[in-house]
A and B are shown apart, each in its own frame.
Chain A
Amino acid sequence: MVWSKEQMAARAAQEIGAGSIVNLGIGLPTMVADYLPADLGVWFHSENGLLGMGPFPYEGDEDSQIINAGKQTVTIVPGGSIFDSAASFGMIRGRHVDLAILGAMQIAANGDLANWAIPGGKVMGIGGAMDLASGAKRILVMTTHVTNKGEPKLVERCTYPLTAKGCVNRILSELAVIDVTPEGFRLVELAPGVSEAEVRQKTGAPLAV
């Protein structure tokens, strides 16, 4: 049994320490917020200029001028604050954000991350991805273990354009939790019922245990 998206979000939530500042990337990482105990004292940072981001607003309460970096309507929790983009990226670059949870297209055994462009594909832009990947204190990647064509996303060397070099600390896929160490990928945890052999077969680089 592989982890469902919800189970992955719940597992990722265990990576978040009490009282930390966390930036959640667009897509799957956004779901992690739903699995955190309210009393953990975690503050969500959104790079468009909001610290203390809350859940989606109740129907009828949405405000087009209160959005997250994915341009979705959100709320602001008590204690939240608003600032300009220069201050916001100063928080990221200045190592004030404890953890960023990002998506990935490829992760290399040396921690290189590629998550903004596919060679020959439609250019979507960089946004805050490079700043977050190189600036947050710790990077957790949440991703499917292989592409929709079945190719490994965990590779020896990235062939897609890099987002940042040597930035990834830990990877959470539907199959396993894997750390990036100075020696390469190391298996930390398997999803229930998933075999080490399956993870190894779907990983494009050596995997230590």
Chain B
Amino acid sequence: MRDADADAGAAKEPRYLPRRMSLATASPPTGRHQHKVVATVEEALADVKDGARIMVGGFGLSGNAEALIAGVVKKGVKDLTLISNNAGNLGKGLNAWLEAGIVRRFIGSYIGTNEALHRAMAAGTVEVEMTPQGTFIERIRAAGAGIPAFFTPTGAGTVVAEGKETRVFDGREHVLESALHADFALVRARKADRFGNLRFYRTARNFSPVMCSAASVSIVEADEIVENGAIDPDDVHLPGIFVHRLLEVREHEDAFEYRNTRKRPA
């Protein structure tokens, strides 16, 4: 691994504020933005350890980093905290993590028809924290933007607010929610340049760019990696400052969950 500063390994207390670095060192501190492109899934996931907190982008099966998701199972790490809106569906995507029994805790917003997760919950092997979807992504956004906590109207007066501080603003009750940080983010992008500037495709974007901002190490599975300059600065969806590792994967299953169509007029 060329990225010597990528030290976010096993479970640590999440830290929301960047540590200040001293300038009184003999040589300038090493950055993380020189060499990001890796050749294999194994290299991309080299420092993922047991107990890691991992964010995974995707809305159900749309926008999944398929090779990285499979790679985590193959690597054999366990006791993971999975932070993702859903945890796969129809036996695909992150269902593989649940079926492999490597998830100890799941933080997300929706279960629905996810039978693998229902089974794991019934068996008591996975602890589940349910968050409203907007609060879920705002907690992640806050972590990436250096905001330790925020008040939101969503969930006031519901089970979501239980045990949390509340405060009235403009006559309306708000709930204090905390930032959500991770050791790693695994996301899918349509295109990346070598610095890690990203473009996403359609609704495959969803949680992914925000998750990249909130993880100590964000690992991107891109359909295509291009030279710097090949993406116009005005067309960048996520600046490369939030991206630490890039893997090009050209082939994807891109499975459908519900394939709804209408008849083409004759």
Residues in A with CB closer than 8 Å to B260 are: 56-57, 62, 72-74
The reply to whether B202 and A63 contact each other, CB–CB distance below 8 Å, is yes
Q: Is the interface of A mostly helix, strand, loop or mixed?
A: loop
Q: Which residues, 38 to 68 on A, are CB-close (under 8 Å) to B?
A: 46-50, 55-67
Residues in B with CB closer than 8 Å to A161 are: 158-159
Total B residues in contact with A, Cβ cutoff 8 Å: 56
Residues in A with CB closer than 8 Å to B85 are: 85
Query: CB < 8 Å: which of B156, B202, B258 contacts A70?
Result: B258
Query: CB < 8 Å: which of A62, A123, A127, A131 contacts B121?
Result: A123
Residues in B with CB closer than 8 Å to A65 are: 62-63, 201-204, 254
Give complex CA distance A162, B114 in Å.
23
Residues in A with CB closer than 8 Å to B125 are: none
Give complex CA distance A69, B158 in Å.
22
Q: Which residues, 110 to 168 on A, are CB-close (under 8 Å) to B?
A: 112, 122-131, 134-135, 161-165
Give complex CA distance A112, B210 in Å.
32
Minimum CB–CB distance for A180 against chain B, Å? 16
Give complex CA distance A193, B128 in Å.
48
The reply to whether A86 and B138 contact each other, CB–CB distance below 8 Å, is yes
Query: CB < 8 Å: which of B134, B206, B257 contacts A135?
Result: B134
Residues in B with CB closer than 8 Å to A123 are: 111, 121, 128, 130
Q: Which residues, 22 to 76 on B, are CB-close (under 8 Å) to A?
A: 59-63
Give complex CA distance A72, B202 in Å.
14
* Given A64-B257, A165-B158, 7 other A-B residues pairs in contact with their CB atoms under 8 A: A47-B133, A58-B262, A58-B263, A72-B257, A93-B134, A134-B153, A164-B158
13 A-B contacts, Cβ less than 8 Å apart? A56-B261, A58-B261, A58-B262, A61-B261, A64-B62, A65-B201, A69-B59, A71-B257, A72-B257, A82-B205, A93-B138, A93-B154, A125-B112
10 pairs of A and B residues whose beta carbons are closest in the complex? A89-B134, A131-B134, A125-B110, A165-B157, A130-B132, A71-B257, A85-B137, A125-B111, A58-B264, A72-B260
